Amino acid sequence: MSSSTEIAAIILAAGQGTRMQSSLPKVLHPLAGRSMLGHVLGLSEAIAVARRVVVVGPNMPIVSGAARSHAPDARIALQENQLGTADAVKAAAGEMAGFDGDALILYADTPLVRAETVRAMLSARRSGASVVVLGFRPVDPSPYGRLVMNAADGLDAIIESKDCTAEQRAIGLCNSGVMAVDGAVLFSLLEEVGNNNAKGEYYLTDIIAIARKRGLSCAAIEADADEVLGVNSRVELAQAEAILQNRLRHAAMLNGATLLDPSTVYFSYDTKLGRDVVVGQNVVFGPGVSVADGVQIKPFSHLEGAIVAAGAEIGPYGRLRPGADVGKGARIGNFVEVKAARIEDGAKVSHLSYIGDARVGAGANIGAGTITCNYDGFEKHFTDIGAGAFIGSNTCLVAPVKIGDGAFTGSGSVITQDVSPDALALVRPQQVEKAGWAARFRARFSGKKSGHG
């Protein structure tokens, strides 16, 4: 039995995923802005594992790199040949050397398993079971291995569907593949797994029967079928996305946000919403968004990599790109795009504007159609707009440029030089009026039009 209370996670990520019809490895396809592998690594963080080993196949450096970008301490093990799940776990033996705590076997294409479910499995393992299997009850159990339980609610065997008797096929509890195993016996159990089957593969499920022959106890914990959905195609990827989005919506509302039409709001895995946030219809959150209390996000807005302070308003049709930092009570209105810019407390950018690589000072007002011209074709440049400034409609601010506190710019101006505090900057040609010109113009062309009739 284990002498350690430490936890290790062996994450199987070597599958080719040919049914995805993609050049991207299956486990790197995203759900809610994070790869499936990232979700499983996140699960391992949530349960505070001491060691995590990601098993990859040959020529999969992109998977190894993704694993280490999510978890720099991740160990990488190589499964040279695709010889079954037991062979995949055995590939981790070198990286698991000396470990005798609880070994979790997780799958990078099964990204929806909850931390509380894994904790229940660990509790059962520490209560005396050498192997704990995560089971579920699908609507159609026919493709799955059945969990054969005994009278004492222990697990006696996992029988593959094609090998089931008529009585065993009636069992509704099925194998998800996820396991918690006593690390002190895991690899000795694997050494006894054979490949005398139609595929000539080494099946992890065989360790149940091997453990029982040794007199070791095995157990099963039951999860909802949605939680153990395995993703092998883009259809199943879409199903997993729908399940995860519903979880995220439910959590947001339980934590004090109002979603006016929940099914149309899409979250990232890491979206943070404060209390009394109101989110309108058809709003999308990309990764890295934090929204404080009392914010209104109006319909058809899109936010990613952005911070929104208390009491601000975004949208409708607001676009916050990475680096957008919106202050308290600030207003980002319809068809406004903000990127890498600080909009300070109480400032307003209400209509049809682009603010990039900039600061908009507290209480400033940005008129409709304003553009910070931040890119010269080679480099980005900064625009600094002071507190209380008033930028007239259709102003082009050609960066680098500074608008002083309280300054005004006239509508239609192209500002290329700094503007002093409290000054008015105007860049307009003189208006010229030619009396009667329009009437003469119409008269000249009216005859031509009638001649073509």
| Domain span holding position 39 | 7-228
Residues 307, 186 share a domain = no
Q: How many separate helices (H) and strands (E) can be counted in the chain?
A: 9, 35
Residues 263, 224 share a domain = no
In angstroms, the CA 21 to CA 236 distance is 13
Residues 298, 153 share a domain = no
Residues 170, 298 share a domain = no
Is residue 357 in a domain? yes
Is residue 432 in a domain? no
Q: Per the structure block, which two tokens stand in for 347? A: 């400032």
Nearest to 128 by CA among 10, 223, 215, 7: 215
Residues 321, 284 share a domain = yes
Is residue 93 in a domain? yes
Is residue 245 in a domain? no
Cα–chain center distance at 397:
35
- Cα torsion 221, 225, 228, 231 to 10°: value is 160
Residues 285, 213 share a domain = no
Let me know if 351 is a catalytic residue: yes
Nearest to 428 by CA among 413, 444, 445: 413
State the pLDDT at residue 335.
Answer: 98
Residues 221, 346 share a domain = no
Is residue 433 in a domain? no
Contact 45, 141 (CB under 8 A): no
Contact 46, 115 (CB under 8 A): yes
Taking the CB of residue 33, how many other CB atoms lie within 10 A of it?
18
Residues 210, 259 share a domain = no
Instruction: Say which of 39, 70, 351, 452 is annotated catalytic.
Output: 351
Is residue 445 in a domain? no
Inter-residue long-range contacts of 257-265, CB under 8 Å, 24+ positions, other chains counted: 260/299
In angstroms, the CA 194 to CA 207 distance is 10
State the pLDDT at residue 453.
Answer: 47
State the pLDDT at residue 196.
Answer: 85
- DSSP structure class, residue 444: H
Is residue 157 in a domain? yes
Q: Can you give the pTM of this predicted structure? A: 0.92
Residues 76, 184 share a domain = yes
Cα–chain center distance at 382:
30
Residues 265, 179 share a domain = no
In angstroms, the CA 305 to CA 395 distance is 27
Residues 163, 265 share a domain = no
Is residue 43 in a domain? yes
Q: Domain containing 205 — which CATH number?
A: 3.90.550.10
Residues 110, 61 share a domain = yes
Per-residue pLDDT of the chain (453 residues), as tens digits, is 666 789 999 999 998 889 999 999 999 999 999 999 999 999 999 999 999 999 999 989 999 999 999 999 999 999 999 899 999 999 999 999 999 999 999 999 999 999 999 999 999 999 999 999 999 999 999 999 999 999 888 999 999 888 899 999 999 999 999 999 999 999 999 999 999 887 889 999 999 999 999 999 999 999 999 999 999 999 999 999 999 999 999 999 999 999 999 999 999 999 999 999 999 999 999 999 999 999 999 999 999 999 999 999 999 999 999 999 999 999 999 999 999 999 999 999 999 999 999 999 999 999 999 999 999 999 999 999 999 999 999 999 999 999 999 999 999 999 999 999 999 999 988 889 999 999 999 998 886 665 554
Q: Domain containing 306 — which CATH number?
A: 2.160.10.10
Contact 405, 419 (CB under 8 A): no
Which residue type sits at 423? A
Q: How many domains does the chain have?
A: 2
Instruction: Tell me the per-residue pLDDT of 59-87, one tens digit each, with 9 for 90 and over.
Output: 899 999 999 999 999 999 999 998 999 99
